[in-house]
Amino acid sequence: MNKPVLDIIGKTKLELGPAEKQNFGNWWLGRDDDNVAWAIVDKKNARANTLSQDVLADLEKVLDALETSLPKALMIRSAKSGGFIAGADIGEFRQVTDPAQVEERLRKGHAILDRLEALSCPTIAVVHGYALGGGFELALACDHRVAVTGASFGFPEVRLGLHPGLGGTFRLTELIDPIEAMTMMLTGKTAHTQKAKSLGIVEVITEERHVRAAIAALVKKRPGGRSRGLKAMAFNLETARQLAARQMSAKVEEKAPREHYPAPHELIDIWVEHGHNRKKMQEAEINSFARLLLSDTAQNLIRVFFLREKLKANSGGKSSVAHVHVVGAGTMGAEIAAVCAMKGLTVSLSDPDHQALGRAVKKAGKIASDAHLSGIQVRDVLDRLMPDPKQYGLARADLVIEAAPEKVELKKELLASIEARAPGHAIIATNTSSLELPELVSALRAPERFAGLHFFNPVSKLELVEVVSHPGSSAKTLADLNAFVGAIDHLAVPVKSYPGFLVNRILTPYLLEAAILLEEGHEPELIDRVAQEFGMAMGPLEVADRVGLDICLHVAKSLRDNLDTPVADIPAKLKEKVDAGHLGEKTGRGIYKWKDGKPEKSGVGGEAPEYMEDRLILPMLNAAVECLREKVVSDSDTLDAAMIFASGFAPFLGGPIHYAKTRGTDYVIETLTTLEDVYGPRFKPDEGWKELGK
């Protein structure tokens, strides 16, 4: 008689003992011949496991069965190939209005994980891929964790305006160095395989093919229960926690002010007050999570999560691009080439400057290393990235991306040359940030194969890509480009060709107004501080320096020359800096002096005058409404997502259009009208406000 088999992650077949495997909805349970139980989570009708209410309820049934007949040990694994469990089901957090209901759900979840932790047999979580949020908390409720090479662990809740809510606050601070634990929760950063081992999160790292042997060895040693780490015990003293918390709070306030992002500050408060008492910390965690979940910050950040999912859906098709040829090894070309090679594509990179090619290859190695790729993986990335000064790769490319300087005639000449040498099926894309596509397409014989791929700098960190159409772009070309963007793990935003496209059209008035304020005599630190106090990730003048003042000037001129709506005059100081070669970070000097990738700032710049915040922010809202009116983008949600992911528009406010509606469109129009009366026609409310206010 054949033994029943349990299929784990699609490639590992686990032969069980005589007892039949049992199905508990979203879980499978079976035992091998050694009486070791295997609980396999496999959320129904889902590509990834989430710790939703139904998954937790089914885990409770699994625990009922195990407690009836205790095994020698319990292993918990995922049947999904992508990873262990990707946190809670965020969809269950939407439109929640009753904090008592949230607390009730949390207490039930805590009770289930407490039961898992209390099992009298050793429990071992075997993690491949990701273990995030609630998935990490479930793994922490086990006595031991085994990582399959490539596994990672993290608490991303802070990005949703929350902190861990199913015991992570106390279980992780008990298990490892509490400072390291708090840092993980406060930053949302993941601990990859080796880092997780060094921190003490996992005990064993193994390859997939050796999982059974690793588990057998652990069970044979009869591992005992958990114990608090030495450093965790040292922080039993409240004075020790208070001392550490002062430093944490200062760092958190700098990047995430309590006024805008209360969750990390509440987490610190909970740890300081209750870090010596698990029961009190558990209750405080539940109460705080329920309160935070209903805050405007969390609801807006949860909205942003779903906006991101909407952008991912733009890349629904399968990409046919296997070989990318990039023309231009400057800052953007080098980053684009590196990202494509990291995602498994063959990349050829051409540039007449051999030194630029060398720098690009070196940069690709650093980007890959910074992304936690192993030495072998970095080598593989560099093997896929071929410096190609004579453009041999052009004849084999499926996609050619032109990333040359922003000069119309140069780009047109290059595009014509590319089309003459590229295969007939290849898509030709330009990475221009300011030139309208109809201006470039005249150089091509087959305009249907041409479109824009506007990446943002740095490409390896900013996921957004504008897929820019022109009247002659074919539907197939645009669909293929959207799929390509998804294949390199970026977010595609379809836009039509328009001065500045979408993001730069909205962002440029903000940057220009900052430059005007600078010319009026205000300190750059003050201007940037006001924007950051509003909630922008970075001040406008620092953004301008990072983008490059020459590029900002070029986009500003393009808007001035091509828009029908009023645009601010270009400040003389901006022109002077560009003429002097002071272009920002890339030259070491711009509005600020730069050292080691950071601007040198002194002080905070004094008191902000009346209207400074509105002068900076409202031109963005006005331009956003113009883009909707001109149908540059399909809808306001996509616009909000683009501005958040490309420009750092305050995520906790939900994007410019969402913020405008929250603030009140009538009030925004009234304020713009006041600014127009004082400062001129660049603040004139766009006609689109009438439609938006309906």
* Rounded Cα distance, 435 and 649, in Å: 24
| Tokens representing residue 552 in the block | 């900002």
| Phi then psi dihedrals of residue 516, to 5 deg | -65, -45
Contact 106, 167 (CB under 8 A): no
323 sits in which H/E element: strand 323-327
> Which residue is catalytic, options 192, 274, 325, 454?
454
Contact 622, 687 (CB under 8 A): no
Contact 459, 336 (CB under 8 A): yes
DSSP, res 42: -
> Which residue is catalytic, options 52, 504, 636, 647?
504
- In Å, the largest CA–CA distance within the chain is 89
Beta carbons within 8 Å of 397's beta carbon, 6+ residues apart: 323, 324, 325, 348, 422, 423, 426
* Rounded Cα distance, 641 and 656, in Å: 9
Nearest 5°: CA angle at 154, between 151 and 160? 140
3-class secondary structure, 403: coil
Contact 402, 431 (CB under 8 A): yes
Strand order of the β-sheet with 73-78 is 22-23, 27-31, 36-41, 73-78, 123-127, 144-148, 204-206
| Tokens representing residue 386 in the block | 């071929």
Closest CA to 361 of 352, 372, 349: 349
Query: Does residue 434 have an active-site annotation?
Result: no
Query: Does residue 81 have an active-site annotation?
Result: no
| Phi then psi dihedrals of residue 635, to 5 deg | -160, 170
Query: Does residue 442 have an active-site annotation?
Result: no
CB burial of 5-35 (b: ≥16 within 10 Å; e: otherwise) equals ebebbeeeebebeeeebeebebbbbbbbeee
* Rounded Cα distance, 40 and 12, in Å: 12
Residue 152 β-bridge partners: 130, 192
Contact 375, 365 (CB under 8 A): no
Query: Does residue 454 have an active-site annotation?
Result: yes
| Cis peptide, bond prior to residue 223, ω within 30 of zero | no
* Rounded Cα distance, 364 and 347, in Å: 12
* Rounded Cα distance, 653 and 301, in Å: 8
Amino acid residing at 256: A
| Alpha carbon distance, N-terminus to C-terminus of the chain | 71
CA-based R_g, the chain, Å:
27
> Which residue is catalytic, options 52, 300, 433, 497?
433
Nearest 5°: CA angle at 333, between 584 and 647? 55
* Rounded Cα distance, 320 and 484, in Å: 8
> Which residue is catalytic, options 466, 542, 585, 626?
466
Closest CA to 281 of 236, 244, 230: 236
* Rounded Cα distance, 211 and 215, in Å: 6
Q: What is the dihedral of CA 237, 239, 241, 243, to 10 degrees?
A: -150
* Rounded Cα distance, 39 and 148, in Å: 17
3-class secondary structure, 15: strand
Contact 297, 89 (CB under 8 A): no
Active-site positions? 433, 454, 466, 504
